[in-house]
Amino acid sequence: MAEKRWAFEDFAEGTSISLGTKHVTAEEIIEFASEFDPQPFHLDEEVGKAGILGGLSASGWHTCCMFMRMMCDAFLLDSTSQGAPGIDHAKWRKPVLAGDTLSGRSTVLARRTSQSRPRLGFVTCRHELFNQNGETVFELQNTGMFMRRSAA
Amino acid sequence: MAEKRWAFEDFAEGTSISLGTKHVTAEEIIEFASEFDPQPFHLDEEVGKAGILGGLSASGWHTCCMFMRMMCDAFLLDSTSQGAPGIDHAKWRKPVLAGDTLSGRSTVLARRTSQSRPRLGFVTCRHELFNQNGETVFELQNTGMFMRRSAA
C-alpha cells in the first residue's frame, strides 16, 4: 500500500484542514431530493421562496453528503481511514440554497489510541461548512478511525 | 392545504411507526459512492470482500439517505413536518451490503411544544434500520419540528 499523507499521528489536537469549495446548483438539489428527500421545499423553487427557507434549499442530508465528498477530496482518500462508527451530533444552522458556494474546515478536537487494537486510533473532529457570506451553515462532530503510521 | 395524516398531536410518546422495506442493490451503492463517498470499499466488491466489512458495503451516508426516503414514504410527506435542526446522534452498527433488504421503525421518545412558537412542537424519535437477518444496522436519534393540528 502506498504511503498515505494522513495517518493517526498527523491529526494532532488543534490541527485544522481546509475542505476546499463546492458550488451548489439547483439541478443537484432537485436530483438529490427526488431520490432521497422529496419534500416540496427541496423540489420546487417557488415553494422554497414562499417558505421560511427563503429559496430552493438543499436537503440537510444532501448537505451531509456534499460535506462527505469535500472531506474525501481534502484528506480522507489520502489517509489511513478505517471509517467511522457514527455521528456524534450535527446541526443544520442555515439553509443551503441553490447558487451557494460552500467552503469548509475540519478541526481535530481530541484523539486517542484504541485499547483493544493498538494499531488503530480514534480522531474526534468538528467539521464546519460556510456559505459565500461567511455564515456557518452546517456543523458536525464525529469520531473517525485511522491506522497509526507505524502500522500502515 | 389538505389535512395531513400526521401532526404534532399524533406523535404520542411510545408511538412506533413502521418504515416499510428497501432492497439495496450494488448499482445503487456504487452510484452513491461515486458521487459522495468514493472510498474503495464502497466502489469495488473485491475490495469490500477483502476488508473487515465483508462485501460491497453502502456508505454510511447512503444508509442515512435511504433511511430518510423510507421515513418520507412512511409518514413524513403526509405530516406537518417543518424540518429538523440537526441530528442528535447516529450509529452505523453493521455494514449494509449489496443484496440486503432493510426494514425500519421510528419510535417517539419525547415531545414538547415550542415556547417561542406555540403552533409548533418538537418530536424526538429513535429511528432504527434492520437487515433481513433482524440485525440492527443503523440507529439515529433526532428531533423534528411539526405543526400542531389545531394550527395546521
Helix (H) or strand (E) holding B104: strand B101-113
Residue B102, all three cell numbers: 432493510
Tell me the chain B residues in contact with residue A52 when contact means C-beta distances shorter than 8 Å: 82
Return the residue of B nearest to A32 by Cα: B65
Q: How far is A12 from chain B (nearest CA, A)?
A: 23
CB contact under 8 A, A65 and B39: no
User: Which of B25, B34, B37, B128 is the mutation pick for testing A, counting most A CBs within 10 A?
Assistant: B37
Distance CA B127, CA A89 (A): 15
B56-100 pLDDT per residue, tens: 999 999 999 999 999 999 999 999 999 999 999 999 999 999 999
What interface predicted TM-score (ipTM) does this complex get? Answer: 0.95
Distance CA A12, CA A107 (A): 10
Helix (H) or strand (E) holding A40: helix A40-43
Cβ(A67)–Cβ(B64) below 8 Å: no
A-B CB pairs within 8 A amount to 81
**Which three-class secondary structure state does DSSP give residue B52?**
coil
Distance CA B16, CA B14 (A): 6
Helix axes A60-74, A26-36, angle to 10 degrees: 110
| Interchain CB contact of A85 with B (< 8 Å) | yes
CA A59 to chain centre: 14
Q: Which residues contact B31 (CB under 8 A, 6 or more apart)?
A: none
Could you tell me the pTM of the whole model? Answer: 0.95
Distance CA B111, CA B6 (A): 14
Nearest CA to B86 out of A130, A140, A33, A135 is that of: A140
Residue A119, all three cell numbers: 494499531
Return the residue of B nearest to A60 by Cα: B86
Nearest CA to B81 out of A126, A44, A59 is that of: A59
Cβ(A151)–Cβ(A8) below 8 Å: no
CB contact under 8 A, A39 and B64: no
Distance CA A129, CA B77 (A): 28
Distance CA A113, CA A56 (A): 43
User: Which of A36, A57, A69 is the mutation pick for testing B, counting most B CBs within 10 A?
Assistant: A36
Return the residue of B nearest to A39 by Cα: B77
Residue A4, all three cell numbers: 498515505
Write out chain A's pLDDT in tens, 152 residues: 568 999 999 999 999 999 999 999 999 999 999 999 999 989 988 888 887 778 899 999 999 999 999 999 999 999 999 999 999 999 999 999 999 999 999 999 999 999 999 999 999 999 999 999 999 999 999 999 999 987 54
